[in-house]
Structure 1
């Protein structure tokens, strides 16, 4: 299917209607949607292939949206900013779009939608195939050097294979992603460009990131490396019920990644290691049926043997449940339901899935994502101060922002 672009090459000076910097989820969706509208775009990507972060998402399976995505699952200085974009491009739109091109969703945990029988490469192929059909160019290994605003729009200079190339377009889209996983080419390019043009930036930090434990507690956590526990994890801001994974340097797993976006240095995290149950009631029931049962035997019904052995540091595991004192019971309750952790820090951008903070949403139109101070400049995806929960939420924002921008190119 060939779509003829209504591209207006003014005096032979313009190379495209728009230049998109970044061939991630936002940039690819923007390119495709612009093509549907007859707009010609050129996408510049620093990496050697498009969709690098898409390809590693969900362990290569790509949880490409979440059935429950609303603005409530996002962190932003202005939580209402998302409403317009999510009305213009809904979860249903995402599902329908991918179904149209052969990818049906299969729901996993907590609304996460994965391609049924396919994977992340198939997701990326949807975009690259459409771009090829519509004549939208994706230029990889293109390192953007400079952006110049002109009377007609923008001139973007980039380097490829040792040569500098200049492109001219009336509009410019910043879809460069955030700082996580720098080994895949992540940079602060959008943030630097924003600062250069005096746009406000909300302080950035790693999010959806493992947390570290150091000092005298480090050995205790390290001995449990590889053990997982389903828990309720919380702080003063929010709570999540998911699995926690012990590692040789601290804590990871879905529960920890989720809470990390809301954690600040120096704060304590609360963990209920047996959510939706009451450990005291369980012990009392066991007492009435078999008082000789050791506390360790009872614990092994709910936890791994390794975890039970490690909890002996805090609890009288070698005691029969009938012999437990009131003081023992109080200690057991507080340890299991009110376990407290004070992380030393996080694993940084190398291990973070997304970036918290970014371009202040007050600098952008919520309806078009156009920069208020710089006409014809748009920001979308992760470089904007919009950070979603784990589980496909950030993809939904990327697809939506790419769509919204395309409608206004």
Structure 2
């Protein structure tokens, strides 16, 4: 292993991380006539872009406001999202050949359904704008000097220290380790004496263990449209039963608001009243069993699974008031106590990160360390499922580019 002395670079800034935030920052800086060097640990940029949305990349959401983001400062994201709006994202992507196609709940995907088109767009723009990308480069440390910053790197096991007057930390968060995720951005923040809020996996499946696990396991593969809630948030989307617990959009959403040891609640017929439905049905067909009726509302497999909780073999006409209360409580307020989550390797993002009090909301520059910027997932700003986190990445990359 060989080592080089500090190398003066001819770039306005070094960007650490070739993900959504880092790539957007490089391109936007290029539009302003600035030159950047993007350092990426993997052998190619955009690893999380490529796998997002099942390889289709839900790159923004039409309904984005600061209200779809979790942070200790709920207003922090307002400035960046105002400087780079959803309309800006749509216009930018369209300008460079990517038409959006709206799917459910305002989610926008490339019309081609190919995430690689987005990565190729960014790499092409970086090339056209003379923004340099250096892959297979691990950044070991960032130090402040009297004139800027030294960045220690390992490139194919060759040590090199680069110098830049400004540094952008766009290295992502802890999910997903196999894609090169690490706590690097958090470690850099701490090394400069900046506060970091507690992190946890978010947009992540939840696990069920112990005596309840076989019940969920028997329903593995069943998907039901539900309302899922706790005392912090509520979402109406599908849940998916698995052999280890629960997944699906509604579960991923509520997971960002769930803490170990807490209950979550599931309404399996949101917007309807199971007691009213049964009353109406038994006036017409009182001999129908509850099992057959529930199988018509859900699936036979799901109805069978409820047999341990409800008098499913009774005719509708013979259901008592107590029976109806039990049915209503189970269907509309099914209690789930997860044992945990599937962790960072199955999480799409994380909550927590660099404390927003340490950063300017307008520029994302560290208040105590001029010239050092943090953007994207390593900041304590976490979006809902459905393109919100990409919108934050584009916005944070844009605002940083204005100041480097």
| Normalised-by-shorter TM-score class | over 0.9
What TM-score does the superposition give when structure 1 sets the normalisation length?
0.96
Matches within 5 A, 1:219-238: 219-238=214-233
1:234-287, CA deviations, whole angstroms, 9 ceiling, x for partnerless residues? 001111000000111111000000000000111111110111111111111111
Residue 152 of structure 2: aligned partner: 157
How far apart in 2 are the matches of 1:343 and 1:15? 52
Maintained 8 Å contact 1:103/1:118: no
Residue 121 of structure 1: aligned partner: 116
How far apart in 2 are the matches of 1:234 and 1:205? 19
Residue 285 of structure 1: aligned partner: 280
Residue 172 of structure 1: aligned partner: 167
Residue 191 of structure 1: aligned partner: 186
Aligned-pair CA distance for 1:320: 1.2
Residue 103 of structure 1: aligned partner: 98
Maintained 8 Å contact 2:18/2:45: yes
Among residues 348, 365, 373, which one is paired with 2:343 in the alignment? 348
Maintained 8 Å contact 2:149/2:166: yes
Maintained 8 Å contact 2:141/2:188: no
How far apart in 1 are the matches of 2:172 and 2:112? 28
Aligned-pair CA distance for 1:18: 0.2
Q: What SS does structure 1 have at the residue aligned with 2:90?
A: helix
1:48-101, CA deviations, whole angstroms, 9 ceiling, x for partnerless residues? 110000000000000000000000000000011111111110000000000001
How far apart in 2 are the matches of 1:166 and 1:13? 9
1:305-342, CA deviations, whole angstroms, 9 ceiling, x for partnerless residues? 11111011111111111111111111100010010011
Residue 9 of structure 2: aligned partner: 14
How far apart in 1 are the matches of 2:334 and 2:264? 8
How far apart in 1 are the matches of 2:103 and 2:168? 33
Matches within 5 A, 1:248-259: 248-259=243-254
Aligned-pair CA distance for 1:15: 2.9
Runs of 4 or more, structure 1, over 6 Å off, are none
How far apart in 1 are the matches of 2:157 and 2:175? 27
Residue 359 of structure 2: aligned partner: 364
Among residues 392, 395, 399, which one is paired with 1:400 in the alignment? 395
How far apart in 2 are the matches of 1:211 and 1:364? 32
1:356-408, CA deviations, whole angstroms, 9 ceiling, x for partnerless residues? 00000000001111000100000000000000000000000000000000000
Maintained 8 Å contact 1:210/1:253: yes
Maintained 8 Å contact 2:295/2:301: no
**How well do the aligned residues superpose, as a CA RMSD in angstroms?**
0.9
Aligned-pair CA distance for 1:118: 3.9
Q: What SS does structure 2 have at the residue aligned with 1:81?
A: coil
1:98-127, CA deviations, whole angstroms, 9 ceiling, x for partnerless residues? 000111111111000011124100011110
Maintained 8 Å contact 1:16/1:168: no
Residue 24 of structure 2: aligned partner: 29
How far apart in 1 are the matches of 2:235 and 2:262? 17
Residue 260 of structure 1: aligned partner: 255
Matches within 5 A, 1:181-330: 181-330=176-325
Q: Which deviates more from structure 2 when the two are superposed, residues 242-251 or residues 160-169?
A: 160-169
Flag structure 1 segments of 5+ consecutive residues without an equivalent. 1-11
Residue 66 of structure 1: aligned partner: 61
